[in-house]
Structure 1
């Protein structure tokens, strides 16, 4: 009976409770959507064929590749200078430049100069804001 009034918290695993709970709720909602809309999902083949045929494959796969590179390189580069946020800063500048360059329809010199300024100033400001006023370290 004495064990009913004791609470023990496993701090090694306690932070994982909320993400697991959210994942379970999202999984149940996905299951409900699949059950409710199963006929529309099964008959969507033609829509997906048209989507993949007409989509801009270079921009789609380019943005996907840039995003994967960005997130996979941020921590290894950040480990070179730990707890400084350099991984974020060094990876964000080419990521911002590359994604915007990829989605530009016309690339005049003036727009590229503006893009380069934004690609340097934007991530630098975010890095400074998190590092000094907020005292938070980025990867």
Structure 2
């Protein structure tokens, strides 16, 4: 009886599949959040759409023509560069660290309004401290392999 109870508290993860553990959890959390968003926002939106209270507008006049492509370019570059830089330092997580700092800095600069010296310093500090803490916690404390 005691051995069966202790076996419930032990976790065994195959090292060959360990890199899929946290992404799987994140994917399920995102699906649950998507379902909640659809339930609370999507259903009322569809009801008002079918009643004719609102109409679908597919014009591009309200699209931010700098931030949308800038974000897409930065995200693609982030993932491509993370793999490239990570290949120089295998299994150390430096690819994540060295690419996340400029990525967060550039995305923050892309979305900031009325930039001044104070906001610039906050962005710079956040871009350095945020990924550094995430890298320390994930790579050093929990020994999670990062690119």
Task: Give me the TM-score of the superposition, normalised by structure 1.
Answer: 0.65
Q: Counterparts of 1:76-115 in structure 2 under 5 Å?
A: 76-115=84-123
Q: Which residue of 2 aligns with 1:67?
A: 75
The Cα offsets for residues 35-76 of structure 1, whole Å up to 9 and x where unpaired, read as xx9xx9xxxxx6112xx1221110111011101100111011
Unaligned runs of 5+ in 2: 1-23, 25-45, 50-55
Q: Which residue of 1 aligns with 2:62?
A: 54
Give aligned pairs, total. 99
| Structure of higher CA gyration radius | 1
The runs of at least 4 aligned residues of structure 1 exceeding 2 Å deviation read: none
| Residue 118, structure 1, aligned to residue 122, structure 2 | no
Unaligned runs of 5+ in 1: 1-18, 20-36, 41-45
Which residue, 132, 135, 139 being the options, matches 1:131?
139
Aligned-pair distance for 1:77? 0.5
Aligned-pair distance for 1:95? 0.6
CA distance in 2, matches of 1:53, 1:72: 31
